[in-house]
Chains A and B, each alone.
Chain A
């Protein structure tokens, strides 16, 4: 089971790589099998000869296809396994269930309500949140501790849901599959990974998380996120409040360093949201005493 998913992810990634094939030395068109053979040789993973297996990846036309949802979900599981290898889930089941209720309720109001959505708090004191293709959303303990209310938590989760709905990470992986795969294959062939293919395949996806998404993708996720939160009945300013809190931490804060490297600055995002959010949103921000349920579970340090 653990081997099957990465191999399929690998094949999906390789299929994306195929259109770069140009021509064989004798001038004939290079097939996917030729390319795979040239790159992979007889490299074998879990008893599967990949050089032969990718011959099934047919032709260049297929490489341009949209990635079907079931493959997107498998890619997301592989990337999630790698992310959770970097930092595991926190052990507080009450908080994990709470985050899944909030997240699923938001996702039901999004453009992709039918994905198998999963939400997790990961054990890291730093501030960050991640989404993978296929509907997995992670938020660090450091960020959850800085959310002062359920509306603020919802603002963060809705931003990540927006990334998944817009397939920002999936498109990023597709775009970078070629380069990432070549690097990983070099490691594989040099024996550096001793046949543990899962690490290499997940890394194709993880490189995007090290680099971060584009500023445009982040600002779009902000705009869509506040709308998802508002559609779910939350007041739409939760994300704004979180960004204000993060802004106050400042660039010298070690817990913010990686977040700031991979995102536009909170000031930049706040300026864009102020322009984008219409005055009519103020009518969607009535106080909701029922959300006082948040405090006993998450014990925020501020209101």
Chain B
């Protein structure tokens, strides 16, 4: 009996660790690598369509758990979620979720007038200009000096990067 308590804690800890992992799906076949580097040793092969758990992200790389294997691959090799199509009926259940979120965060809740549609085409068409909010918007402006100070604290240093060329994805690229 006395030994049950630590095991409950262990189970809870394990459970929370499981919950914090984000599900993802592989979009192509790839090698899971030992470290986030192109020349790192492959530890396993993952087939397209495998449900994996995202452990962490590091720049262009993600660390995954696939079955009993853990390793690294490129960010573009996966997509988040389980790949299950969201049911169309989700629309109705979302109202509850959205309202719960608003309540839980204590933010100003505009759903009183807008429902869960949020900002959509109908609302834009019906919108009455609100110049007072523009004044508020202007009041939040950052000066260049404030932005520079913010960048300094964030260790953000400007660097030269070339513009990217427009290229269509090759035919047969993963489109969906």
Contact = CB atoms under 8 A, between A and B. Distances in A.
B94 to A, nearest CB: 5
A271 B176 CA distance: 9
Contacts of A244: 75, 78-80
Given A274-B169, A275-B170, A235 B91 contact: no
Interface in A252-266: 252-255, 257-258, 261, 265
Given A92-B107, A119-B140, A237-B60, A293 B154 contact: yes
Contact of B76 (A1, A245, A274, A302): A274
A86 B123 contact: yes
Contact of A223 (B85, B164, B176): B164
Interface residues of B, number: 81
Contact of B169 (A77, A85, A272): A272
A85 B110 CA distance: 12
Interface in A211-237: 219-220, 223-224, 226-227, 230-237
Contact of B129 (A102, A199, A253, A278): A199
Contacts of A251: 85-86
Main secondary structure of the interface of B (DSSP, over half): loop
A218 to B, nearest CB: 12
Interface in B88-119: 88, 90-91, 94, 98, 101-102, 107-108, 110-111, 114, 116-119
Interface residues of A, number: 108
Given A84-B137, A252-B88, A282 B59 contact: yes
Contact of B124 (A209, A230, A234): A209
Interface string B55-86: 01111110000000000000110111100011
Interface of B: 22, 24, 56-61, 75-76, 78-81, 85-88, 90-91, 94, 98, 101-102, 107-108, 110-111, 114, 116-121, 123-131, 133-134, 136-138, 140-144, 146-148, 150-151, 153-170, 173-176
14 contacts: A82-B130, A83-B127, A88-B110, A122-B119, A125-B102, A140-B118, A223-B164, A232-B156, A244-B79, A254-B117, A257-B120, A271-B174, A272-B167, A275-B168
